């Protein structure tokens, strides 16, 4: 499963409580913290709600197993 690196870049001060709760639900505790999460629809939805406060990078699959149809 692909992974996402999410970085908390902008303070949630001055934004609605719901957005602050979303930042906390993603697992952030401090500004400029970074997390790695699985790329799931629920995580993508949370990121979409606070996209103005975070940056997102897609990480390559770390399983080391070739995907179906790929030659090694």
DSSP at 69: T
Q: What pLDDT, on a 0 to 100 scale, did the predictor assign at position 61?
A: 76
* Torsion angle of C-alpha atoms 15, 21, 26, 27, degrees rounded to 10: 110
Q: Establish if 22 belongs to a structural domain.
A: yes
Q: Establish if 67 belongs to a structural domain.
A: no
Q: Establish if 69 belongs to a structural domain.
A: no
Strands 34-38 and 3-8: antiparallel
Can you give the pTM of this predicted structure? 0.80
Q: Which two tokens stand for residue 3?
A: 């992974």
How many domains is the chain built from? 1
Q: Establish if 71 belongs to a structural domain.
A: no
User: How far apart are alpha carbons 68 and 39 in whole angstroms?
Assistant: 19
Closest CA to 2 of 36, 49, 53, 27: 36
| pLDDT tens readout for residues 26-49 | 999 999 999 999 999 999 999 999
Provide the domain limits for residue 7. Answer: 3-59
Q: Establish if 52 belongs to a structural domain.
A: yes
State in Å, rounded, how far the first CA of the chain is from the last one.
19
**Residue 29, domain CATH:** 3.30.1390.20
Q: What pLDDT, on a 0 to 100 scale, did the predictor assign at position 15?
A: 97
| pLDDT tens readout for residues 1-17 | 899 999 999 999 999 99
Q: What pLDDT, on a 0 to 100 scale, did the predictor assign at position 71?
A: 54
């Amino acid at each position: 499963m692909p992974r996402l690196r999410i970085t908390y870049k902008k303070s949630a001060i001055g934004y609605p409580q719901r957005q602050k709760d979303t930042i906390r639900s993603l697992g952030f505790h401090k500004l400029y913290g970074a997390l790695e999460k699985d790329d799931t629809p629920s995580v993508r939805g949370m990121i979409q709600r606070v996209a103005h406060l975070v940056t997102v990078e897609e990480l390559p699959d770390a399983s080391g197993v070739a995907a179906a149809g790929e030659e090694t």
